[in-house]
Each structure stands twice: as structure tokens, then as C-alpha cells.
Amino acid sequence: MKKYNFTINGNKYNVKIQNVEDNIADIEVNGMTFKVELEKKMAAASTKTPKLVRLASSPSTESESSTVKTSSPTAPKGTGNVKSPLPGVILNIFVKEGDYVKIGQRLIVLEAMKMENNINADKEGYIKAVKVKQGDPVLEGDILIQIGA
């Protein structure tokens, strides 16, 4: 039950809303009970469905813009970061700083949605830094490994 105090033209009213069903409300005003019909407004513009707003996503890997879509599959992809393609937990890391990796070589096993996902190198070069360790939780787009020339 909701209680309200109104002052209209200097007169005070104590209003209690006892029950509301559809567009009929049972209210009590200064001790007297009334049935009030509420006006239903068509609210086409306002909905109760929440609006989904997504943040800008970053690509799972970085490459030089000149080689993103124009390089052949056998051409080197340059240096950059290997990022997590989806949120999960690091299960295994197969490389360490200073190791030389080739394209397609397995770097990390990531558990996501109860499945193990292999994260492979998409560039050739030396491992400059491993940014995660076994058991770390990661989000989509987090940098896992930096590969340099």
C-alpha cells in the first residue's frame, strides 16, 4: 500500500492506494474509499525492453594495415600482439620469451565455454613477452603474447 499526502488549493488530503488491477485502483482519501479508473496511455515509444549497447570490439590480432587483406598465405605477417579471441581461462602456455615461432604454431590453450581452444601464432618471429600465466582469466581482446622480429 502506497501513501501520499497532497495539498490542493490549501486543502490537505491523505491518499492511500490500496490495490490496482488493470486500470481500476482502490484508493482511500481522508478515510473514504473510492474506485478510480486510470487512464491508459498508449506508450508506443517507451518500451520496457532494455537496449543492448555493445562496446567497440578490437580484432583478435594485429597486423600491419598493408598486409591485413592483401598478403598471400605464405608471406610473413609482421610483428604484433596475439589477443584472446574470447573470454576464458589460460590452461597451458607452450612458449616462453625468446622462443622463435612460426605461423600456425600452438602458443596457448584457452578454456572457454567448457571447451579447450588452441591459440596459434598468426605471425612469425621471436616471443617478446608472454603477458599471461597458467590459470589467469582473460577477456576477449586481452593481449596474451607479443611477437617481435
- Count other Cβ atoms within 10 Å, centred on residue 85: 17
Considering only CA atoms, give the Rg of the chain: 31
For the chain, give me the number of helices (H) and strands (E)? 0, 12
For the chain, 149 residues long, give each residue's pLDDT as a single digit of tens: 788 888 888 888 888 888 888 788 888 888 888 888 887 765 455 556 777 676 766 665 555 554 444 455 555 555 688 899 899 999 999 999 999 999 889 999 999 888 999 999 888 899 999 999 999 999 988 999 998 87
Closest CA to 120 of 103, 144, 135, 133: 103
Whether residue 144 is found in the same domain as residue 83: yes
Please give the full DSSP string across 16-35, using - where no structure is assigned: EEEEEETTEEEEEETTEEEE
- Is residue 80 in some structural domain? yes
CATH number at residue 127: 2.40.50.100
pLDDT at 70: 45
From the list 21, 15, 11, the residue with the least C-alpha distance to 1 is 15
How far apart are the C-alpha atoms of 105 and 121, rounded to whole Å? 5
Position 95 in a domain: yes
The structural domain count of the chain equals 2
Residues 31, 80, single domain; the answer is: no
Record the cell numbers describing residue 113, joined without a space. Answer: 565455454
Q: Note the Cα 17 to chain centre separation in Å.
A: 40
Contacts of residue 120, defined as CB under 8 A and 6 or more positions apart, other chains included, come to 103, 104, 105, 106, 107
